[in-house]
Chain A
Amino acid sequence: MYLTRLSRLLTGALLVAIGTSAHAAFSDLNMPVGVTPISREAYELHMLILIISVVIGIIVFGMMFISILKHRKSLGHEPAQFHHSTKAEITWTVIPCIILIAMAVPATNALISMEDTSEADMTIKVTAYQWKWKYEYLEDGVTFYSNLAPSSRAAIYEDPRAVDHYLLSVDERVVLPVGKKVRMLLTADDVIHAWWVPALGMKKDAIPGFINELWIKIDEDKTGVYRGQCAELCGKDHGFMPIVVEARNEEGYKMWVAKRKAAMAAEKTGASEAEKFVEPVSTEQAAAATQANELVQPSVIAAAQGKNSGGL
């Protein structure tokens, strides 16, 4: 708690020092606190070690600058000739060891809880591709791909500032229920990628041939949209495969699942947008799909494609 307050104070002081408090992006100076227990633990540890570093820095650099100011030849200072002191050397070997142990204890505890993916309420399998994500909700039976939003893609060579959430918006969001322990299983199809949403506090590589896991439990009162992106160099479009998580309450999540399932059913018969992600179909299949498409009511297609229409 007091760390949070102290960090706000530090951030504030920095802002005043730079004099740019009016500008929004210049104020992004620190790690976000996030909305999960994991992200808060990472934040608290980050602040703890940052403050320890700043204090040590002030002492060491302080000594150095006193020396630089006072022990100058130009001030007629005569050089001392001492060249070692066993007592001092033992002291400044032991003290860092004690500080390190003091940091290792909370770090170890936090790490143990972070790596505990047991007793999850639900599981989502994430597969990374060059350059998109595939999400499979194992219990709820929802599957979809998530790409960079067309609005962002269109702005890359135009005016990035004109789009909302440039490069951090997708055509299809990952929807997660708040208050539930969600286990994510991560793998990749081609090269190594990494799944990361800063506000959720965990980053893990998605590696072909491996399944990694992490867990997320978003606070009950923290519904909203959280954005991140691929964090491991994965080729040409590494900078263009964002992740957008929408945290909904239980009811909202269930509604989304129902809607998404209906849309998937429509896609199956409708064989529309989703086609482009599937292996190339034979001509007969394609012809059949086109026919089926014409039979489906326009409103269903609209529901299926609703999310594809622009930057979310």
Chain B
Amino acid sequence: MSTATTHEDHHDHHDHGPEPGLLRWVFTTNHKDIGTLYLWFALLMFFVGGALALGIRLELFQPGLQFLDPHLFNQFTTMHALIMIFGAIMPAFVGFANWMIPIMIGAPDMALPRLNNWSFWILPFAFTLLLATFFMPGGAPAGGWTMYPPLVLQGGANVPFLIFAVHMMGISSVLGAINIIVTIVNMRAPGMSLLKMPLFVWTWLITAYLLVAVMPVLAGAVTMLLTDKFFGTSFFNAAGGGDPVMFQHIFWFFGHPEVYILILPAFGIISQIIPTFSRKPLFGYEAMVYATASIAFISFVVWAHHMFTVGMPLSGELFFMYTTMLVAVPTAVKVFNWVSTMWRGAMTFETPMLWAIAFVVLFTIGGFSGLMLAIVPADFQYHDTYFVVAHFHYVLVTGAIFAIIAGAYYWLPKWTGNMYNETLGKWHFWLSTISVNVLFFPQHFLGLAGMPRRIPDYAIQFADWNWVSSVGGFIFGFSQLLFLYIVVATIRGGEKATDRVWEAAHGLEWTLSSPPAYHTFATPPRVTDAEAHS
């Protein structure tokens, strides 16, 4: 048997490299190719969503209306959110999952490679449909990414396109999630028991379950919007006996787990990076796993904290306040564990570590404002103001996106075989980290002073901090072009990376060559304790 396997391996390496030509990318079932596709798609969408954000900041640079009329402004805010959430952050994490999960658990590929190809290739079509609405009569969706009826139903031609695009994104996510679950459950190398898996694999396993649980709920909600608009139903129409608030309950039953879908894989990436550059094992590995699982469980019972002002009964408000406050406990455990991992380590500060440290600090600031938002009497003041905008950009930009960038720098040498330019990486880090705080920190002040979100124009007392925020926004936005340059330059050349890449990196991915062969772990590796979770 062993001879046969060896022969097959040999055969694999020579005959099953990538297809030549562009069609390779269309028909590929290789997890590394599909991971790369996801990551490039996410980067493209990051720039599209970013361009919309710059449009928003341009209009808000000073009071009065200069560049966007109010309807177009609403289209920009709506599309910015949809593209960043469903087009940039989620696909980026799925890209990491595709690239890293098989080589972290010693599997030859994802369990369902053809499904994997399809999961990706749905996305460009979904976003083409969504972006095409900009050129339709009445323009793109303008009712906010939360799609609250009755407002969203006032949209014109865009409504069915929005709903169909959301359906396609949902199908893509669910298929991707199923693939990840099946891969992790079935294809771990011998010796890779569940509690030896790298934390990134753990966080993705839990995230995938969340996706499977809630994406169909979103599909249900938007389908009801569709029938309300075109088939005469009244699910959300009070005049027909329906209930507009019911949509919000259904939406946020999806929406809150979705928020953790956007952050749990980030926790995983950070939990890989900090031990490597602290040269010390992750503190409290099991506690991290249980904390992640607790956050996921709690995420199903906190949804109505997005809607404290809809007029819930007192008992409902109290319940959702208490459950929301409870999220702080496992989240705090995670932050304490990261700090304890650094404590008495031997740290170095290469670019991925800088992003990871910034993540811990800035995500925690977003966590604090989240805790403040949980306090219902104070939330009545914060709700739907720029304080909320500041909060969720701290957790999504300096949280999710910083982790994505950290992970990209961390694994780019493994993916490409070349080291990125450390000097430029540090420039990218410092430019982004300073400007992102200039961009979002003043928005706390704006919200507390009373500026509502989603307005194209504002009273004069909000002018100063909006001006500051816009300046930060433009510096942050253009700094990301540097990232694009660094990535392209690293792919094209640069100092050769070693297999281990980082002095203290642990995990199966670092036992492979840099870049790894097109097919890896065709025979399962032997998992030693040294190469188990870092």
A229 and B452 contact, CB distance less than 8 A: yes
- Residues of B contacting A78 in the complex (Cβ-Cβ under 8 angstroms): 346
B339 and A64 contact, CB distance less than 8 A: yes
A193-251, CB < 8 A from B: 194, 196, 198, 201-205, 207-210, 212-213, 227-240
Contact with B343, one of A45, A63, A232, A237 (Cβ below 8 angstroms): A63
- Residues of B contacting A297 in the complex (Cβ-Cβ under 8 angstroms): none
Q: Does B97 contact A (CB under 8 A)?
A: no
Q: Mark B337-365, 1 if CB is under 8 A from A, else 0.
A: 00110111111100000000100110011
Interface residues contributed by chain A, number (CB under 8 Å)? 97
- Residues of A contacting B317 in the complex (Cβ-Cβ under 8 angstroms): 111, 115
A84 and B283 contact, CB distance less than 8 A: yes
Closest chain A CB from B105 CB (angstroms): 21
Q: Mark A61-91, 1 if CB is under 8 A from B, else 0.
A: 1011001100111100111111111001100
Closest chain B CB from A5 CB (angstroms): 18
- In the complex, A26 Cα to B281 Cα: how many Å? 45
Contact with A207, one of B287, B311, B325, B344 (Cβ below 8 angstroms): B311
Closest Cβ neighbor of B344 among chain A residues: A80
Q: Does A93 contact B (CB under 8 A)?
A: yes
A207 and B347 contact, CB distance less than 8 A: no
In the complex with contacts A30-B448, A155-B64, A167-B457, A208-B238 CB distance below 8 A:
yes
Q: Does A291 contact B (CB under 8 A)?
A: no
Q: Does A145 contact B (CB under 8 A)?
A: no
B283 and A235 contact, CB distance less than 8 A: no
Q: Does A278 contact B (CB under 8 A)?
A: no
Q: Tally A-B pairs: CB < 8 A.
A: 285
B452 and A231 contact, CB distance less than 8 A: yes
Interface residues contributed by chain B, number (CB under 8 Å)? 89
Q: Does A134 contact B (CB under 8 A)?
A: no
A205 and B381 contact, CB distance less than 8 A: no
B380 and A42 contact, CB distance less than 8 A: yes
A114 and B380 contact, CB distance less than 8 A: yes
- In the complex, A60 Cα to B328 Cα: how many Å? 14
Closest Cβ neighbor of B275 among chain A residues: A83
- In the complex, A80 Cα to B342 Cα: how many Å? 10
A160 and B151 contact, CB distance less than 8 A: no
Contact with B329, one of A31, A63, A93, A212 (Cβ below 8 angstroms): A93
- Residues of A contacting B360 in the complex (Cβ-Cβ under 8 angstroms): 64
Contact with B344, one of A74, A79, A210 (Cβ below 8 angstroms): A79
Closest Cβ neighbor of B283 among chain A residues: A83
Q: Does B521 contact A (CB under 8 A)?
A: no
Q: Does B427 contact A (CB under 8 A)?
A: no
- Residues of B contacting A92 in the complex (Cβ-Cβ under 8 angstroms): 332-333, 336
- Residues of A contacting B144 in the complex (Cβ-Cβ under 8 angstroms): 233
- In the complex, A156 Cα to B143 Cα: how many Å? 22
Closest Cβ neighbor of B342 among chain A residues: A67
Q: Does B476 contact A (CB under 8 A)?
A: no
B381 and A72 contact, CB distance less than 8 A: no
Closest chain B CB from A226 CB (angstroms): 10
Contact with A28, one of B245, B340, B449 (Cβ below 8 angstroms): B449
The stretch that binds B, out of A99-107, A262-270, A301-309, is: A99-107
B384 and A203 contact, CB distance less than 8 A: yes
Contact with B348, one of A72, A97, A212 (Cβ below 8 angstroms): A72
Q: Does A295 contact B (CB under 8 A)?
A: no
- In the complex, A192 Cα to B287 Cα: how many Å? 43
Q: Does B322 contact A (CB under 8 A)?
A: yes
- In the complex, A257 Cα to B18 Cα: how many Å? 81
Q: Does B279 contact A (CB under 8 A)?
A: yes
B333 and A57 contact, CB distance less than 8 A: no
The stretch that binds B, out of A46-54, A170-178, A281-289, is: A46-54
Q: Does B244 contact A (CB under 8 A)?
A: yes
| Interchain Cβ contacts under 8 Å between A and B, 25 examples | A31-B381, A42-B378, A56-B368, A57-B364, A63-B339, A64-B360, A68-B347, A71-B346, A71-B347, A73-B347, A83-B284, A84-B287, A92-B332, A97-B329, A100-B326, A160-B64, A167-B457, A167-B458, A204-B380, A227-B459, A231-B385, A233-B143, A233-B454, A235-B151, A238-B452
Interface residues of B (CB under 8 A from A): 63-65, 70-71, 74, 142-144, 148, 150-151, 154, 238-239, 242-245, 278-287, 309-311, 314, 317-318, 321-322, 325-326, 328-329, 332-333, 335-336, 339-340, 342-348, 357, 360-361, 364-365, 368, 371-372, 375-378, 380-381, 383-385, 445, 448-450, 452-465
For the complex of A and B, list the 7 residue pairs with the smallest distance between their C-beta atoms, beginning with the closest.
A209-B238, A239-B455, A212-B311, A28-B449, A53-B368, A79-B346, A80-B344
Contacts A92-B336, A236-B142 aside, 8 further interface pairs with beta carbons under 8 A come to A83-B281, A88-B336, A112-B314, A155-B64, A168-B459, A203-B384, A209-B242, A210-B244
